[in-house]
Structure 1
Amino acid sequence: MLRERVVTALLMLAGLLAAVFLLPTSGWWGACGLLGLAAAWEWAGLFRLPSAVRWGYGLIVAAAVVAFAAIGSPAIDTALFALSALFWMLLAPPWLKQRWLIAEGAVLPLLLGLVVLLPAAVAFARLREANVWMMLAVMAVVWVADIAAYFGGRAFGRRKLAPEISPGKSWEGVYAGLLGVLIYGVVVFSIWMPMVPQRLGWPVTVMLLLVLSALSVIGDLFESLLKRQAGIKDSSALLPGHGGVLDRIDSLTSTLPLVALWVLVWRLASQ
């Protein structure tokens, strides 16, 4: 199982880097559309929707991702990313606390899926266009938070974070993830991006890192809640040893749109 997980992770990393550095802009949009298709197909599966609906929904999301990416409207992008930020900051936390159930049917789950998946896929497209290294650095924030939380939780975990949603997560793991991200941020900004702290200031930089870390936890827990309510362990079996696409991008759905919004607002304010 561990070998399968490691092999899949290496293949995913190689595929990501190849797509990021080798594909033309239109090809990258298509890759983001495929990501949206797979995630939407799994999302609809969480709510036990028919196969035809799952595939149709996936194709609609994929087409919307490519269309938004191709249009390239700052106003549309701002609205899309702001909607995502508002959801994750204001609605997702009480949703997790109350463990709300989504009413049966297809309308509400599919609309919610658009709020969660569409901004994240478009953010992938926009951040690569803005600065590929920044995109990878932001993704690494999520990965570092996840890895540090895992090992910190295993070593020191005592108090459960959300036992009804994800019994394996602990507050000590969260603190370890935050510490790992801060160390990572200091190293990255000090060595590879020396201009960023001077422009933002270290207090703002640290605050952004902590916000992204917190949002990554919320994104992870939100998908865990939906899977628990659906009575399944993984969103699918598309990625051997890792589950599904949603299982790998859950934290990115809550973080990338916020970063894309920040980049967009920063650019508009600098003009």
Structure 2
Amino acid sequence: MLRERVITALVLFAVLAITLTLPGPIPFALLSGAFLSCAMWEWLRLTWGPAKPGTVFVPGVVAALALACIFLAIQFSGADAFDLVPATFGLWIASSVVWVGAILPMLTRARADAAPRNAIWSAFSWVALIATWTALNVAYTLGPLFLLSLAAVVWVADIAAYFVGKKFGRRKLAPHISPGKTIEGAIGGVVAAVALILISAQFKDTFGAALSHKWGMLGAACFGLLLAALSIAGDLFESLLKRRAGMKDSSGLLPGHGGVFDRLDALLPVLPLALLLV
């Protein structure tokens, strides 16, 4: 398992690195679109299925192909990423309102044994994934360093939460959803993410620099806290959907890692709001 996990991570890193070095926005837009289309199929397997073992989950496949067509239509419409901002601004707001106003407070009381089929969360997948794709591509247009420093906020929060929780974790954060996560780990993840933002604010063209330029260092720290909390919420939300569906992973597309949704869950609530903030 560990060997598969490492190999898959290295392959994904190599693909991303090569894509970021290619000229123009199209390679990154196609790569991110492919990943998010796969995530759509996985999301609906959890909230609209589950499909019977050994069968093709047709609604998920159709939705994934439809989403890919939407991404292609947007990308080849002739508009660049910044042209898309006014059209997607409302989508970013809608996505952020649901994550902050509905999902984040819901997680403390959500029932893990509820029926998996949920029309509301199935419909929200379209908003969340399209908002994330447009945010990703605007972030890419702002520069690879901006994009990577923004994604690093989520990665650092996740890594710090794991190690702090493993070393100091005592109190469970959401035992009904994810028994392994602790309050101490979550605090460690949030602190690490805020520290990263404040440190990266000292360097030009980073997400931290853009955030602190607009809101000041105190504002950057406060919004960093919110973004880190949302990254944890994204992870817990997918864990909740998987528990309801009785599935360990969203799929087996990424050997050793589960599915694409498993790797993107913490980014989905963060990216649209982060772009709104800068």
TM-score of the aligned structures, taking structure 1 as reference length: 0.89
The residue number in structure 1 matching 2:222 is 207
Deviations 1:20-48 (A, max 9, x none): 22153223222222112111111121131
Q: Indicate yes or no: 2:156 matched with 1:144.
A: yes
The residue number in structure 1 matching 2:261 is 246
Counterparts in 2 of 1:59 and 1:23: CA distance versus 1, 3 Å? farther
* Greater mean deviation of Cα atoms: 198-207 or 93-102: 93-102
The residue number in structure 2 matching 1:180 is 192
Which whole-Å CA distance do the structure 2 matches of 1:45 and 1:103 have between them?
Answer: 9
TM-score of the aligned structures, taking structure 2 as reference length: 0.87
CA contact (8 A) 2:200 2:209 kept: no
Amino acid at match of 1:184: L
Q: Indicate yes or no: 2:169 matched with 1:163.
A: no
Deviations 1:116-164 (A, max 9, x none): 2221122111210122211110100100000000000000000000000
Aligned residues: 262
The residue number in structure 1 matching 2:252 is 237
Give 3-state SS (helix, strand or coil) of 2:179's partner. Answer: strand
> Cα offset for 1:64?
2.0
2:57 to 18, 27, 51: 51
Long gaps (5+) in structure 2: none
Q: Indicate yes or no: 2:97 matched with 1:86.
A: yes
Counterparts in 2 of 1:182 and 1:109: CA distance versus 1, 3 Å? closer
* Greater mean deviation of Cα atoms: 28-37 or 253-262: 28-37
In the TM superposition, 1:1-271 aligns within 5 A as 1-22=1-22, 24-46=24-46, 47-49=49-51, 51-69=57-75, 70=77, 71=79, 72-99=83-110, 101=114, 104=117, 107-192=119-204, 196=210, 197-263=212-278
CA contact (8 A) 2:203 2:209 kept: no
Which whole-Å CA distance do the structure 2 matches of 1:121 and 1:147 have between them?
Answer: 24
> Cα offset for 1:211?
1.2
Amino acid at match of 1:182: V
Which whole-Å CA distance do the structure 2 matches of 1:121 and 1:73 have between them?
Answer: 11
Structure with the largest fraction of helix: 1
Q: RMSD between aligned alpha carbons?
A: 2.1
Amino acid at match of 2:20: V
Give 3-state SS (helix, strand or coil) of 2:253's partner. Answer: coil
> Cα offset for 1:230?
0.4
Long gaps (5+) in structure 1: 264-271
Give 3-state SS (helix, strand or coil) of 1:169's partner. Answer: strand
Counterparts in 2 of 1:146 and 1:87: CA distance versus 1, 3 Å? same
Amino acid at match of 2:7: V
CA contact (8 A) 1:43 1:113 kept: yes
* Greater mean deviation of Cα atoms: 87-96 or 164-173: 87-96
Amino acid at match of 1:223: E
* Greater mean deviation of Cα atoms: 159-168 or 22-31: 22-31
